[in-house]
Homo-oligomer: A and B are copies of this chain.
């Protein structure tokens, strides 16, 4: 998965744990698939397998919503789909705006997964005057100047930021001032927002970096296993340099797994 929730200190909204909320969409997806195959009921065991979670966890998650199952039988698929949809607020249509129509913004605009889940792309917004009026995903791109009007005219509460990092904070402030209270942020920056505004971030390079960490670990273990008593492959001697220059020099001098130049370019 990508990265997680920001700021909001796990509000435990109306008793439903944040961790459970994060899994509900997963269950919903699995249930929708069953529904399409006209499966009438499903046991916690089966559904848990389909969603890739533990069955006890799934039952506990559902218990926060209410007692929707039948002992000895399982859960009614259609009924559960409806209950979860309602709980997630997907029984209504959420207009969203996408700000920043570059490669990623355009891909998001074309993404079918939004519309099929109760989200309607109400507008595409970009700061580049050359983009104005240009059709993307069958919809004309509008200029940032009209951001406030677009938000309020469409009653938008959810905004997606796909701008470069430098513009993200300012865009978020304008969105919030215009009435947006939930933001999905793709820009690699920490957004600082007032209380009452939810921010979730998706950072592609962070996900890859986490994978790289585990990948390196695997490689290290493998190397250690092969090389016998190679103990400090993962933790080289703490060559604690006094000055930054010395540290950089030391870094450059090493060739191995750790060696190489330090990553100077940001994300």
Contact = CB atoms under 8 A, between A and B. Distances in A.
A111 B105 CA distance: 11
B1 A112 contact: no
Total copies of the chain: 2
Contact of A157 (B3, B6, B215, B240): B215
Interface string A59-85: 000000010000000001111011001
Contact of A1 (B2, B93, B217, B261): B2
A32 B111 contact: no
Contact of A91 (B4, B110, B258): B258
A88 B207 CA distance: 11
Interface residues of A, number: 117
Contact of A244 (B40, B204, B250, B251): B40
Interface in A184-220: 184, 188, 190, 192, 196, 198, 200-219
Contacts of A76: 244, 247
Contact of A257 (B92, B215, B261): B92
A184 B203 contact: no
Contacts of A153: none
B182 A89 contact: no
Contacts of A202: 1-2, 202, 204, 207
